[in-house]
Amino acid sequence: MRKIPATVVTGFLGAGKTTLIRHLLENAGGRRIALVINEFGDLGVDGDLLKGCGVETCREEDVVELTNGCICCTVADDFIPTMEKLIERADRLDHIVIETSGLALPQPLVAAFNWPEVKARVTVDGVVTVIDAAAVRAGRFAHDEDKLAEQRASDASLDHDDPLEELFEDQIRAADLLVLNKCDLLDAAAIAAVRATIADSSGDRLPAIVEASQGRLPADVLLGLGAGTEDLIASRRSHHEIEHEGGEPHDHDDFESFVAEFGAIRDLAAFEAALRDTIRRHDILRVKGFASVEGKPMRLVVQAVGERIATYYDRRLTPGEDGRSALVVIGLHDRIEDGEAAIADALRAAAGIPAAQAAE
């Protein structure tokens, strides 16, 4: 019996996974693709954006959202039952695409394809790791020696390295194909420097690299790798697996997310400026969600990756959405934990909502 090929799309927060998948769906060449989407943060933004893509071959029932935490930690509870349901409709499917959360370790997810029920019917066509070339160039994943030395001085038991750097390496080392995305933001010399950084981080096996902007790659480049990664993944171990040979479960304690809710934004330009300032002050990694803007009947999509902010209107607001805004905020635990109330207040103030109203 033919096994259904499954592609795992991974990569750090905001690297461009959803953008790449959306382009893939729009250019799928008639392939019937089921999507499994996992997000860190409770708002289901990616699923909403992909369901609304309007592509005929991508119907609402083809998109499964897994929101009970990071897919790599909830494999047995969420992922396996989802795969079993998809296997039941195998005759109506050409391909499965799984978008992991930006914080996921791909290794445990790929290993789950070796569960007998799944292995008999599905094979991992490839792990595609999307990389934000501009963020790499800006040093986002580079080892901050000073910061680590400072942390170790205050906590001698500190046993792990920079969480951003480790995730970056783990996601690269799990890959069959690396997509160097956001190349539109860099010149040739900067792209060459990013390639060198990746080569340094990739260990003894450098996966193939393709450059992209806005995730625009032909479906034939992304699908049909035929890697059978479930049989290879044991040799692509993550930092966590190497450090905890005994099988201690990993977690995402290094990161924190919450949803900030507030009313309609009064002045969009002022909001963006204040959001950028808040991101900078709290070193926030990712903000995304939907907002209302006073006097506008359209829904505003808000996307921030580090200090790079993009907003656009995507569709009419429903009556229940009008006047409401909700944004997921994700950052390093140490930077977000104490700042949650301050960040939420700053976003309310940025929207132009008076303190009295915010307190109601």
Binding site for ligand GTP (CB under 6 A): 11, 13-19, 46, 102, 181-182, 184-185, 213-215, 286, 288, 303, 305, 310
Compute the least distance from the CB of residue 129 to ligand GTP, in Å: 11
Whose Cβ is closer to ligand GTP: residue 25's or residue 353's?
25
Whose Cβ is closer to ligand GTP: residue 55's or residue 90's?
55
What letter represents residue 273's amino acid?
A
Compute the least distance from the CB of residue 204 to ligand GTP, in Å: 27
Compute the Cα dihedral for 315, 260, 257, 75 and give only its sign: negative
Compute the least distance from the CB of residue 247 to ligand GTP, in Å: 27
Compute the least distance from the CB of residue 338 to ligand GTP, in Å: 23
CA–CA gap between residue 221 and residue 214 (Å, rounded): 15
Residue closest to ligand GTP, measured at CB: 102
Whose Cβ is closer to ligand GTP: residue 307's or residue 338's?
307
What letter represents residue 80's amino acid?
I
Residue 156 is given by DSSP the state T
Contact criterion met (CB below 8 Å) for 300 and 264: no
Compute the least distance from the CB of residue 17 to ligand GTP, in Å: 4
Compute the least distance from the CB of residue 114 to ligand GTP, in Å: 26
Whose Cβ is closer to ligand GTP: residue 118's or residue 130's?
130
Cα 121 to chain centroid, rounded: 27
Could you tell me where the DSSP H helices lie in the chain?
Answer: 17-26, 45-51, 80-88, 106-111, 116-119, 133-137, 145-154, 163-173, 188-201, 219-222, 239-243, 268-282, 333-336, 340-351, 355-359
Joined together, the tokens standing for residue 100 give 């992991």
Cα 178 to chain centroid, rounded: 15
Whose Cβ is closer to ligand GTP: residue 115's or residue 313's?
313
Whose Cβ is closer to ligand GTP: residue 22's or residue 239's?
22
